[in-house]
Structure 1
Amino acid sequence: MRRGDVVAKRYVIDRPLGGGSFGTAFAAYDTRLDRQVAIKFQHPRTFESNAGFESNKMGFKEEARILKHYKGSRGIPEYFDIARHNEGWVIVMELVEGVTVERYASVSHGPMEQDIAVSIVTQVAETVSLLHEAGYVHRDVKPGNAMIDHNGDVYVIDFGSTWVAGRKPPLREGTDGFAAPEQAMPLRIGTSADVFSIGCILVKLLTLHLPYPDDYLTRARKRRLPPPEPDLTHVPAPLAPVVLDMIHWEPRLRIQTAAEVVDRLRPFRPAAGSPPNPKLIGADPTMRYRCSVAVR
């Protein structure tokens, strides 16, 4: 797509936003309702990916259904429309103006302060908990799939990999470094897989490195190898036991849901009425908790 192209006779393409395994997103202008939107395009069919295209189409419709179900929920871009485009589909949703958590972290020029990192991860967990309560697993929670807007509110994006918790998915999804070990194998995936991913995000923000070695998913596939030990060297000592419970190699020994993560991280969030961190750069993700009269 190019700037100025018109989609579904009303959406004028502005600029690319990014892409993933299921599609590519663009900022656009809705000429009918006079507003900026984000449009996610399904990847086009190719000769080599015909089966993947059809599976992708099903995933696209499911993502639209999930966005529509959570319309108005905090931390999820608002769903506007789904439309046909060529052979595939496009999803039209709220345009979140901001940066990904991945980009936000890179501006810090070093390990992130604990109160800032915990505030970001707690907001991610609060949103993912909505999926868990409905019996779904996101399966691709990572810094690139979370955005911080100008007010410091964190959004989870890209629900194309979402799957029913407790069922064996048809395709392996997830991102190296953040995917739970069981996602590398043809196993049933539970909500604790997302907890693992959220824990890895927290370690990455706090230490600039990931808790497991690069080959951890290979080790998971070759079950005869002993599981690696996570590296939590630079995680603050009081927080380390919680992180360890989030990223345990064995799914049954982890914290099981994102709602439990929110509860376990509560003591580490900034207190209501506390001042902003002087080392904060850019949008303030701690504001939600600092400015709350009663932090739940």
Structure 2
Amino acid sequence: MEETRRLADRFDLIEPVGGGSMGTVWRARDDNLERIVAVKELLLPHGQGEQKSDEAKNRALREARIAARLVHPHAITVFGVIDEQDRPWIIMEYLPSTSLADKLREGPMEADDVIRLSIQLCSALAAAHRAGIVHRDIKPGNVLLGDDGTVKITDFGISRAMGDVQLTATGEISGTPAFLAPEVARGEDATFASDVFSLGATLYTALEGGTPYGTAENPIALLYRASSGEITPPVKSGILTPLLTRLLDVRPDSRPTMTETERELRALAIGAPTTLVAEEPPPRGRKGVLIALIAGFLVLAVAAAIVVVVLTRGDGTPSDAAPPPSSQPQTGAPPSSAPVVPPQSVSSAPPSTPPSTPVSSSAPPPAAQTPGQALSAYYGLLPGNLEAAFGLLSDNFKRSRGQTLATYGNFWGRFQAVSVSNVTERGANSASATITYVRKGGGTESETATFVLVQQDGRYLIDSQR
């Protein structure tokens, strides 16, 4: 590469500091501004003709210019692009760093460290999305961990420009499909939602020590697996498991936005609930205090009356209830992977039994005689009686989901009703059912799942879901 030691009569290429299928990254000196920069030399596709090479070069220059619009403390800044020696060169900010891909060769990371890292990533990606910029290639290799603790994302749009993660004319795959959203693996255009999936796949890899799609010696097989969206459920991700499940939802419309993801990560970082609740402004002056006190007494009186009615009915809690689903509902926005137990709306209760009214009592429901009855009773408690419903989850279930009462309540706070139908016994300790959720903001979503229950102290507890 002797001919490239001096570039554009301005940049001295000092040494290569990275590279891959798309090209080589050089540490270089900008003589004009007297500073160290990174220069990415992009390799054009071979064996596809001059026209294809020109198209790739023009795309790379265009994508680099688009990326240059983003200036953010957690994104590598693009200073400029030049076309020299018949290939594109991208002049970028230089960050003394190692990539997340290199870091993960030492093994998976702890959830707290991944949360701190991902907050920085999300802040940059959310800003990019607000500016109309899709990254298209979020993966550990494009996440830089600075020597000073700074985290930055790099290579906006470059993979698409260079035809990365596509089948070549010879049937080979350039790049890896391990972090592709299913819709992109099927050939659709990358979107903000596909960036969200790729972020989820990156965080999954950092926590689990492997990619969501697993491994395959044949890259075609891995691409096929990616196109189906079938992932290996996370088992080591702790408090990040619910968020990861939402990020990796096969349905683009069901994934959170990058801004919502950043907000939830920041809440996790301080141990706060991840569903934001509007704060009620404090009453002003004595009159306001008096009104607040009267309102409080009225609420307590109504709640007490409801409890009396419920306790004197003699028919216990609604018969319609079911455990927290691990898979996402089939329509609408995805529930968190926390024990999915959306709000109440009882469809299988007897006609004479009205839908359960949310009650704060944590008393457990009467013992169910069969798994199907237990499933119905569980969902009949939700979303109003969280403590009692949470008590119907086995310790194994809570452990496998990293579930606490706080995260459980955070999940169910998004729903106003839930109903259960088509309850079918599947043996001595399992039952399947269709669960329909009603969101507070409007809209419904349904899923069908099978639940395994265990008996403990004379009660059925939900132990797993599939």
- For 1:282, the equivalent position in structure 2 comes to none
- For 1:234, the equivalent position in structure 2 comes to 236
Q: Does structure 2 conserve the Cα–Cα contact (< 8 Å) formed by 1:83 and 1:90? A: yes
Cα 1:74/1:130, change in 2 over 3 Å: same
User: In the alignment, is residue 9 of structure 1 matched against residue 2 of structure 2?
Assistant: no
Cα 1:54/1:245, change in 2 over 3 Å: same
- 1:157 deviates by 0.7
- 1:110 deviates by 3.3
Q: Does structure 1 conserve the Cα–Cα contact (< 8 Å) formed by 2:144 and 2:152? A: yes
Question: Could you tell me the TM-score, scaled by structure 1's length?
Answer: 0.77
Distance 1:49 1:261 in 2: 43
- For 1:294, the equivalent position in structure 2 comes to none
Distance 2:3 2:247 in 1: 43
Deviation readout 1:38-62 (Å, 9 max, x if unpaired): 1112325644353442232122222
The structure with more radius of gyration: 2
Distance 1:66 1:209 in 2: 32
Q: Does structure 1 conserve the Cα–Cα contact (< 8 Å) formed by 2:17 and 2:25? A: yes
Structure 1, unaligned runs of 5 or more: 164-169, 272-296
- For 2:332, the equivalent position in structure 1 comes to none
- Give 1:231's aligned amino acid: P
- For 2:30, the equivalent position in structure 1 comes to 30
Distance 1:113 1:62 in 2: 38
User: In the alignment, is residue 218 of structure 1 matched against residue 224 of structure 2?
Assistant: yes
Structure 2, unaligned runs of 5 or more: 167-174, 216-220, 272-466
- For 1:126, the equivalent position in structure 2 comes to 123
- For 2:157, the equivalent position in structure 1 comes to 160
1:140 alignment partner, one of 115, 132, 137: 137
Equivalent residues in 2 for 1:167-182, closer than 5 Å: 175-182=176-183
Distance 2:186 2:64 in 1: 27
Cα 1:3/1:144, change in 2 over 3 Å: farther
Cα 1:100/1:158, change in 2 over 3 Å: same
Q: Does structure 1 conserve the Cα–Cα contact (< 8 Å) formed by 2:136 and 2:157? A: no
Q: Does structure 2 conserve the Cα–Cα contact (< 8 Å) formed by 1:2 and 1:13? A: no
Distance 1:186 1:201 in 2: 20
- Give 2:182's aligned amino acid: P
- 1:172 deviates by 5.6
Question: Could you tell me the TM-score, scaled by structure 2's length?
Answer: 0.51
Cα 1:191/1:243, change in 2 over 3 Å: same
Cα 1:136/1:111, change in 2 over 3 Å: same
Distance 1:52 1:13 in 2: 28
Distance 1:83 1:12 in 2: 14
- For 1:249, the equivalent position in structure 2 comes to 250
Matched length: 258
- For 2:104, the equivalent position in structure 1 comes to 105
Identity over aligned residues, as a percent?
A: 29
- For 2:113, the equivalent position in structure 1 comes to 116
Deviation readout 1:235-270 (Å, 9 max, x if unpaired): 21x321111000011212222x21111012122225
User: In the alignment, is residue 92 of structure 1 matched against residue 91 of structure 2?
Assistant: yes
Cα 1:239/1:78, change in 2 over 3 Å: closer
- For 1:76, the equivalent position in structure 2 comes to 75
Distance 1:219 1:253 in 2: 20
Equivalent residues in 2 for 1:41-52, closer than 5 Å: 41-44=41-44, 46-52=46-52
- For 2:55, the equivalent position in structure 1 comes to 55
- Give 2:133's aligned amino acid: Y
- Give 1:228's aligned amino acid: E
- Give 2:77's aligned amino acid: E
- Give 2:224's aligned amino acid: T
- 1:211 deviates by 2.1
Q: Does structure 1 conserve the Cα–Cα contact (< 8 Å) formed by 2:60 and 2:158? A: no
Cα 1:172/1:95, change in 2 over 3 Å: same
Distance 1:148 1:86 in 2: 31
